[in-house]
Amino acid sequence: MGIPSVDLAEFLSGDANRKAAFVEQLGKAYEDIGFIAVKNHGVADNLIADLYIQVQQFFSLPSEQKKKYEDPVLAGQRGYTSFGKEHAKGSEAPDLKEFYQYGQVPQDNFKEEDYPPNISVKEVDGFNGTFEKSYRAFEKSGKTLLQAIALYLGLDEFHFDDFIYNGNSILRAIHYPPITIEPKTAIRAEQHEDINLITLLVGASADGLQILTKQNEWISVTSLPEQIVVNVGDMLQRFTNNKLRSTTHRVVNPVRELWHTSRFSIPFFLHPKSSMSLRCLEICIDKDHPKVYDDASAGEYLDERLREIGLKK
């Protein structure tokens, strides 16, 4: 399925008409399907290539070495999380993946909340620096996309800027290992919606991503080279009282002939600071669209969801 494609260069062109057309195209796509592909997203190709190479090197390390970077106290928010620890909300079956997470390094003496330090990997040259550079590049790209979303919602263009500066965003590298025995399920990652505002997904190393359409059909999605897939998360859906859609998605197993292969995926989950209110926007509430969600802060909602997916006790 070809999800809608947008060119971020149009938004940044300096031409008011092209910028407005981009905003409308982006907003309508997020209302209709919740997923888009973005060209000219600003994350350098060579940086993405380095990131993938180093991620593959990390996950090829022996289990005992990787587990040195796992700290259960951190609820999967930093460092390594071993295979089978996370499950989708409402599912008891663990996802068939392991992952490594890199989080915010506070800037400008930020003291509003304490973020745990990132867990540095020693065995892969350049690993930690590449993650920091990638984190900042995705953060910048996501900030620009949120500016367009703000305009679509009738807000000030820079409405989200302060909320996401020093926000609790996460860069996650995921490894779905080869399938070595008959699996109990055809799903590598059960159906779910993302927790955050928006997710920026740099092209996965193999097919498998599927989204659930409004017609209740599962459709495969593959991003094209030089594009990233960006989808709405539950925080933005909640904030907009369901105007923008957090689409259910999953990762399915490959065909049997490809069971011996790994799948790598690197999403950037763009979060605001924990203090941001997710109270439904008044402009998204009317008699046809009554308020759906109780008031909550981003931090309260994140904590609730981490418990639901088994990362936090």
Which CATH number belongs to the domain containing residue 118 in this structure? 2.60.120.330
Q: Which helix (H) or strand (E) holds 188?
A: strand 187-192
- Write out pLDDT tens, residues 9-25: 999 999 999 999 999 99
Convert 70-86 to b/e letters by CB count within 10 Å (16 or more is b): beeebbbbbbbbbbebb
Tell whether the model's pLDDT for residue 119 goes beyond 90. yes
Domain count of the fold of the chain: 1
Residue 120 lies in a domain: yes
Q: What are the structure tokens assigned to 25, written together?
A: 């195209």
Average pLDDT, rounded, for the chain: 88
More confident site: 220 or 157: 157
Whether residue 65 has pLDDT greater than 70: yes
Measured distance CA(65)–CA(146) in Å, rounded: 38
Residue 313 lies in a domain: no
Full-model pTM? 0.90
pLDDT one-digit tens code per residue, 222-236: 767 788 999 999 999
Q: Rounded to an integer, what distance in angstroms lies between the CA atom of residue 48 and that of residue 138?
A: 10
CA distance 286 to 293: 14
pLDDT over threshold 70, residue 81: yes
Least-confidence region, from 73-77, 141-145, 172-176, 240-244: 73-77
Looking at residue 295, its pLDDT comes to: 95
Express each pLDDT in 165-218 by its tens digit: 999 999 999 998 887 666 666 566 678 889 999 999 986 645 778 888 888 888
Residue 269 lies in a domain: yes
- Strand pairing report for 198-202 and 209-212: unpaired
Backbone φ, ψ for residue 307 (5° rounding):
-70, -40
Give a yes or no: residue 88 inside a domain: yes
Please indicate whether residue 257 or residue 1 has the higher confidence score (pLDDT).
257
- pLDDT surpassing 60 at residue 87: no
159 is a domain residue: yes
In-domain check, residue 58: yes
Beta-bridged to residue 263, according to DSSP, are 176
Query: Residue 172 is inside which H or E element, if any?
Result: strand 170-176
* pLDDT for the residue 112: 77
> Is it the case that residue 88 has pLDDT exceeding 70?
no
Could you tell me the residue range of the domain that residue 180 belongs to? 5-308
Percent of the residues in the chain that have a pLDDT greater than 70, as a whole number: 89
